[in-house]
Amino acid sequence: MKSPTKKLFKSLLYLPVIIWALISIAPLLWIAALSFKPSAEWNAFPPTFLPQAPTLSNYVSAFMNSPMLTYLFNSLVVTMVSLFLSLLLGSLAGYALGRMKFPFKDTIYISLFSVKMIPALLTVIPLYVMMYQLHLLNTLWAIILAYTAMGIPMVLFVMKDFFAGISKDIEEAAMLDGCSRLRSFFFIMLPLVRPGLAAAAIMVFVRTWNEYMIALTLTSSDQVRTVPVGLRNALGQRMGELGPMGAYTLIAIIPIIILFLMFQRHFVSGLSQGASK
């Protein structure tokens, strides 16, 4: 049995984690509570944490007074398409760099990975010029292509070590049975690296969903704007209206929370396995 001293010491070890978790989640809980408060409670003194008369009027106002549904649809399309392309191309590149031998492999990997170290701000003007020349400005495809280019190195970095850690005997046995390398990749290798795919998918999704600067630069109308750009415009127009501002913010972050809760186990498993490789 553990002595009381050891139990106390173990409890004290959890204390900083609990405090940090409360500090991290407190703003989210405050925003959620604020989004349900009527206007009379926004600046009430003394302030109350929970709404005294909960209402959905702030959410109704958010959807009625701005094209929030359009922003959500655009963000969903851009995020899912760029996520699919990033996972597909990044996994193929990670497979090649992790399991195949060819000249300049390390140089290619370093070159692709170095893209992650370039600040997004430095790519804005070149991206704008490129999309202008391709006649893609103010279209969803401009954002999709830019986000895919940003997502591929992230997926590559995660998946390379996962593929390299799989025994070659598994793939060689499949090929002896007549399985092509491409078929082996999709039906044998990918199922074995699902934790890595989940971790990479969540990281790419969060970065893509929250990205602001590139989406702002490449779009100029509400019809193609994403949630971060639309949210910033809406908050600027309704500055001081705390209830609708809370509703806008909560609407923007709910998809990320849902995604993480759905794939939390795979995400943690992927990160822990990737760290040990």
Tens of pLDDT, residues 69-83? 899 999 999 999 999
Q: What is the mean pLDDT of residues 168-181?
A: 82
Transcribe 19-60 into DSSP letters. Answer: HHHHHHHHHHHHHHHHHT--GGGTT-SS--SS-SS--SHHHH
Q: Pick the more confident residue, 70 or 43.
A: 70
Taking the alpha carbons of 111, 113, 116, 117 in that order, is the dihedral positive or negative? negative
The fraction of the chain above a pLDDT of 70, given in percent, is: 93
Domain boundaries, the chain: 59-275
Instruction: Identify the weakest region by mean pLDDT among 17-21, 74-78, 265-269.
Output: 265-269
Residue 67 has pLDDT above 60, yes or no: yes
> pLDDT value at position 275?
47
Tally the C-alpha atoms within 13 A of residue 180's C-alpha that lie toward its C-beta.
Answer: 3
Instruction: Give pLDDT, residue 79.
Output: 95
Whole-angstrom distance, CA of residue 44 vs CA of residue 31: 15
* pTM of the model as a whole: 0.83
Is-contact 243 42, C-beta < 8 A? yes
Q: Which two tokens stand for residue 56?
A: 């959905």
Residue 46: asked if its preceding bond is cis (omega within 30°), the reply is: yes
- pLDDT(267) > 70: no
Are 246 and 31 contacting, i.e. CB atoms less than 8 angstroms apart?
yes
In this structure, which CATH number among 3.40.190.10, 1.10.3720.10, 2.60.40.1120, 1.10.274.10 belongs to the domain 59-275? Answer: 1.10.3720.10
* 43 HSE (CA, 13 A, CB side): 3
